[in-house]
């Protein structure tokens, strides 16, 4: 222990383990200690023996409860918002490879003595008794405003500055009833009390958006996911992350006393007579009790049952929110239930929790409204714990203390505390997490409030007056329900030039015959792309697929590898830190220079001038930014063509902003599915994509006509397209969308392609079944890549 560390972390709760992992990834030397002999601290998951010992003082639970070790009972029960900050952190840090998750079955809200499911689909919204017909009309207008609100688009603000206008003021504009406000504010925006009503409305609106995005992400009955084997898996997973990046762990260390110098700054931690020196200390409140203050208390009941919660459609996992007004309380009460389906109990057993911020000294009486909703209970344990916040000045004592976990059943406040601490510890924003939040999460942005709007419109028999929006405003014409779309093709199949052909079609197209060789195998098992392309796993096409829900018609698989050609050989583009270390693409000193460049790209945030290092990437060229780091030509080739995926070297003399963003996209895509490349590819070939979007259009009323000859576009006297004629019949229209072959105009180049059928993988690609190899222009003496 007699070493010096950048940071010593005390306690292995979830917050401390996330920070330990993030700081280790940042290259800091971290020592992580805990007085307990297990990971998790207050956020651990206990087996039945540990549960009995903690609450009953005995380690002999009843035999009728099942296998002891099949229990994993959370001490801080929380579900995970599927598109929230914790998920972004998990994906960004690659901790997901240590965990498995399952969608939570349902989210419910308590109203006038009964529980109601929060609608997760348009059908549920139609049937939901949470609002009456006229109230749904008013709520619809509010949801349209929330749906369309874009912080960067003043036109969507309707004259309201949400950083100044309160939630109460924006709600009053739509005349919503008290029960509706309860439902929206507590079951969707997930506020714990009604204080939000008199605070700026921005957070309120963004919370509703987050709920909708999370609801859409995994197409479950709720916006939540939950790890198999309980939440105790999370701190252990982040501990593994820290260890991978050099963090040192010591459990069962008694006392763990923080040492201070004469100026009051933390300089080390002593345990069992040994002192480890450090520059900063991170800990939970129990390690520095003189630097925190009590701000509240949480009462909780832990219940073991042999049935699901009544009136929840026999759901194995649910959240039920009891808004404060419904109970005459100052804050909400929460019910949380999971079961053997999540591997937290033996088959047939359910674990339910009832939690609330304490307003009395009697947990039994205070939690009674929630417990009464559970039905028969096999065993019940009550416990209370005080909540603390730090009172110290971190800049003066170098101690960074986390706050106590609150009573809510989701992790948003927890991760907000972690990211704030990270910023204070490192002196910089968690830019890499912000990047994951704004880009990777954005790929999953599907605002499901629109489903509710759709259902309301159907019920009210009104015209559809909204457009589903995502970050790219893609496919608006396809899904905008005011558009009547006719889709025609001269061919008798979908896909046009982007179709996938079977062997007969391939032979007919290129050999003029429909009799391929027999030794090539079954004709219909071939799906040969005419426009062969892989899909960037976090790119705009994936965002479009998810936003439009076209993914339900498709199945994808990660591409095995991405390679680059250099001086007559092909090399794998590294997909992990281990591969990067071993890669011969750069020498040792060049890797050092490249690392500085990648750190700049990693930290670059267009909105944060501090990250720009004095460079305006909308004016500075890619060549200028590369020259700053003194990279060799081969490295520039590798980065520009294999990572940024430029087709030629013209990018070098263009503004560097696109170059930098392309590299970021490559990294995000590489991380998304933890494959050997940043790409995915649909089963049965790319010809599945146009067919899937055709199905989408048909679902929304589009009409399809194949094998239509000629398809001549008709124009009026002013030169505007007014219709399309085929086989003597003309369909009138306001606009025409087509590929170049229907309105041929100007040729700008030519593509040459060879289609090869082989009986082996490409040599030197580790026998990969799917690969991309980029041959940069300079390596071949060409003007563009191969």
* Gap between the Cα atoms of 55 and 64, Å rounded: 18
* Gap between the Cα atoms of 177 and 135, Å rounded: 7
* Per-residue pLDDT tens over the stretch 341-397: 999 999 999 999 999 999 998 999 999 999 999 999 999 999 999 999 999 999 999
**Backbone dihedral region of 343: left (phi > 0), alpha (psi from -120 to 50 degrees) or beta?**
left
Which DSSP state fits 630? T
Q: If pLDDT is split at 50, 70 and 90, which confidence band does 480 have?
A: very low
pLDDT at site 701: 55
Furthest CA-CA distance within the chain = 96
* Strand bridging mode 224-227 / 266-271: unpaired
Question: Whose CA is closest to 657, among 616, 718, 626, 710?
Answer: 616
Q: To 5 degrees, how large is the angle CA 447–CA 450–CA 452? A: 125
Specify the residue for token string 């972690």.
Answer: 418
pLDDT at site 575: 66
Beta-strand ranges (E) seen in 43-197 are 45-46, 73-74, 80-81, 101-103, 106-111, 114-117
* Gap between the Cα atoms of 341 and 226, Å rounded: 11
**In sequence order, what are the beta bridge partners of 615?**
none
Tokens of residue 699, six digits: 């679902």
* Gap between the Cα atoms of 438 and 645, Å rounded: 22
**In sequence order, what are the beta bridge partners of 488?**
705
* Gap between the Cα atoms of 626 and 631, Å rounded: 6
* Under 8 Å between Cβ of 243 and 93: no
The whole-chain average pLDDT of the chain stands at 83
* Per-residue pLDDT tens over the stretch 146-205: 878 888 888 888 888 999 999 999 988 888 888 888 888 888 888 888 999 999 999 999
* Gap between the Cα atoms of 86 and 117, Å rounded: 25
Output phi, psi for 636, to 5 deg.
Answer: -60, -40
Q: If pLDDT is split at 50, 70 and 90, which confidence band does 476 have?
A: very low
Average pLDDT over residues 138-142: 83
Q: Output the 3-class SS for 632-692.
A: CHHHHHHHHHHHCCCCCHHHHHCEHHHHHHHHHHHHHHHHHCCCCCCEEEECCCCCHHHHH
Output phi, psi for 480, to 5 deg.
Answer: -70, 120
Residue 142 scores a pLDDT above 60: yes
* Per-residue pLDDT tens over the stretch 580-626: 667 788 887 787 888 888 888 888 888 888 888 888 888 989 898 88
* Under 8 Å between Cβ of 281 and 269: yes
3-state secondary structure of 79: strand
* Per-residue pLDDT tens over the stretch 526-577: 889 888 998 988 888 888 888 787 776 777 888 888 888 988 999 888 766 5
**Helices 449-460 and 133-148, axial angle in degrees (round to 10):** 140
pLDDT at site 699: 57
Average pLDDT over residues 228-247: 85
* Gap between the Cα atoms of 602 and 684, Å rounded: 36
* Gap between the Cα atoms of 422 and 432, Å rounded: 12
* Gap between the Cα atoms of 343 and 337, Å rounded: 13
Question: Whose CA is closest to 90, among 3, 158, 21, 29?
Answer: 21
Q: What is the CATH number of domain 4-103+225-440?
A: 3.50.50.60
* Per-residue pLDDT tens over the stretch 15-47: 998 899 889 888 899 998 988 877 788 888 888
**In sequence order, what are the beta bridge partners of 79?**
410
Output phi, psi for 244, to 5 deg.
Answer: -60, -35
Residue 445 scores a pLDDT above 70: no
* Under 8 Å between Cβ of 135 and 177: yes
* Under 8 Å between Cβ of 375 and 276: no
Q: Is 80 exposed, middle or buried (0-12, 13-18, 19+ CB in 10 A)?
A: buried
* Per-residue pLDDT tens over the stretch 744-761: 778 888 999 999 999 999
Output phi, psi for 379, to 5 deg.
Answer: -145, 145
Tokens of residue 341, six digits: 């389906």
Superfamily for 119-221+443-457? Guanine Nucleotide Dissociation Inhibitor, domain 1 (1.10.405.10)
Tokens of residue 78, six digits: 């929380």
Domain boundaries of the chain, sorted by first residue = 4-103+225-440, 119-221+443-457
Q: If pLDDT is split at 50, 70 and 90, which confidence band does 85 have?
A: confident
Residue 128 scores a pLDDT above 70: yes
Question: Whose CA is closest to 125, among 410, 457, 615?
Answer: 457
**Backbone dihedral region of 753: left (phi > 0), alpha (psi from -120 to 50 degrees) or beta?**
beta
| Cβ within 8 Å of residue 532, ≥6 positions away | 686, 753
Residue 411 scores a pLDDT above 80: no
Distance of CA 679 to the CA centre of its chain: 18
């Amino acid at each position: 222990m007699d070493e010096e560390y950048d940071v010593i972390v005390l306690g292995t709760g979830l917050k401390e383990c996330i920070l330990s992992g993030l700081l280790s990834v940042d290259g800091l030397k971290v020592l992580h200690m805990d007085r307990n002999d297990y990971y998790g601290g207050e956020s651990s998951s206990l087996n039945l023996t540990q549960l009995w010992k903690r609450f009953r003082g005995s380690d002999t639970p009843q035999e009728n409860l099942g296998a002891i070790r099949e229990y994993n009972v959370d001490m801080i029960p929380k579900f995970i918002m599927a598109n929230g900050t914790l998920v972004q952190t998990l994906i960004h840090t690659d901790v997901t490879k240590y965990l498995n998750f399952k969608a939570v079955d349902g989210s419910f809200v308590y109203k006038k003595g009964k529980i109601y499911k929060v609608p997760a689909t348009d059908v549920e919204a139609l049937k939901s008794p949470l609002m009456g017909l006229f109230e749904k009309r008013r709520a619809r207008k509010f949801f349209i405003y929330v749906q369309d609100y874009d912080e960067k688009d003043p036109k969507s603000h309707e004259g309201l500055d949400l950083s100044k206008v309160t939630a109460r003021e924006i709600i009053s504009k739509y005349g919503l009833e008290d029960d509706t406000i309860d439902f929206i504010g507590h079951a969707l925006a997930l506020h714990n009390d009604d204080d939000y009503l008199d605070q700026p409305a921005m957070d309120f609106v963004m919370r509703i958006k987050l709920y909708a995005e999370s609801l859409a992400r995994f197409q479950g009955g709720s916006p939540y996911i939950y790890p198999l084997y309980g939440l105790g898996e999370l701190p252990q997973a982040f501990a593994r992350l820290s260890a991978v990046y050099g963090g040192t762990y010591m459990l069962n260390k008694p006392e763990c006393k923080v040492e201070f110098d004469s100026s009051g700054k933390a300089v080390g931690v002593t345990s069992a007579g040994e002192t480890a020196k450090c520059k900063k200390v991170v800990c939970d409140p129990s390690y520095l009790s003189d630097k925190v203050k009590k701000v509240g208390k949480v009462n909780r009941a832990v219940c073991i049952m042999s049935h699901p919660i009544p009136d929840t459609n026999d759901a194995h996992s649910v959240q039920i929110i009891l808004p404060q007004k419904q109970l005459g309380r100052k804050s909400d009460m929460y019910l949380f239930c999971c079961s053997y389906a999540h591997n937290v109990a033996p088959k047939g057993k359910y674990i339910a929790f009832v939690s609330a911020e304490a307003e009395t000294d009697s947990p039994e009486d205070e939690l009674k409204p929630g417990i009464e909703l559970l039905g028969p209970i096999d065993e019940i344990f009550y416990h209370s714990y005080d909540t603390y916040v730090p009172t110290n000045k971190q800049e003066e004592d170098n101690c960074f203390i986390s706050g106590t976990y609150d009573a809510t059943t989701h992790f948003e406040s927890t991760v907000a505390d972690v990211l704030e601490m990270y910023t204070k510890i490192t002196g910089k924003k968690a830019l890499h997490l912000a990047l994951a939040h704004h880009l990777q999460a954005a790929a999953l942005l599907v605002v499901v409030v629109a489903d509710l709007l759709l259902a309301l419109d159907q019920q009210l028999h009104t015209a559809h007056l909204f457009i589903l929006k995502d970050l790219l405003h893609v496919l608006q014409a396809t899904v905008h329900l005011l558009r009547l779309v006719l889709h025609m093709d001269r061919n008798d199949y979908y896909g046009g030039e982007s179709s996938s052909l079977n062997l007969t079609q391939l032979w007919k197209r290129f050999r003029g015959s429909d009799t391929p060789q027999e030794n090539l195998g079954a004709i219909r098992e071939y799906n040969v792309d005419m426009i062969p392309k892989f899909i960037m796993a976090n790119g705009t096409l994936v965002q479009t697929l998810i936003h439009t829900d076209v993914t339900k018609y498709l199945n994808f698989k990660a591409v095995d590898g991405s390679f680059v050609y250099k001086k007559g050989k092909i090399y794998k583009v590294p997909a992990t830190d281990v591969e990067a270390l071993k890669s011969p693409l750069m020498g040792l000193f060049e890797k050092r220079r490249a690392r500085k460049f990648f750190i700049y790209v990693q930290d670059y945030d267009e909105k944060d001038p501090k990250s720009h290092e004095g460079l305006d990437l909308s004016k500075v060229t890619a060549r200028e930014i590369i020259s700053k780091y003194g990279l060799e030509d081969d490295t520039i080739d590798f980065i520009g063509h294999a990572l940024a995926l430029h087709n030629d070297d013209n990018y070098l003399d263009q503004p560097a902003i696109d170059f930098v963003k392309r590299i970021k996209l490559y990294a995000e895509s590489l991380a998304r599915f933890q494959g050997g490349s940043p790409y995915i590819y649909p089963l049965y070939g790319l010809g599945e994509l146009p067919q899937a979007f055709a199905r989408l259009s048909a679902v929304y009323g589009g009409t399809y006509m194949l094998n239509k000859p000629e398809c001549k576009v008709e124009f009026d006297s002013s030169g505007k397209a007014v219709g399309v004629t085929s086989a003597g019949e003309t369909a009138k229209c306001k606009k025409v969308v087509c590929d170049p072959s229907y309105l041929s105009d100007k040729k700008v180049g030519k593509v040459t392609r060879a289609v090869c059928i082989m009986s082996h993988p490409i040599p030197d690609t580790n026998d990969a079944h799917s690969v991309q190899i980029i041959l940069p222009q300079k390596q071949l003496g060409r003007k563009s890549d191969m």
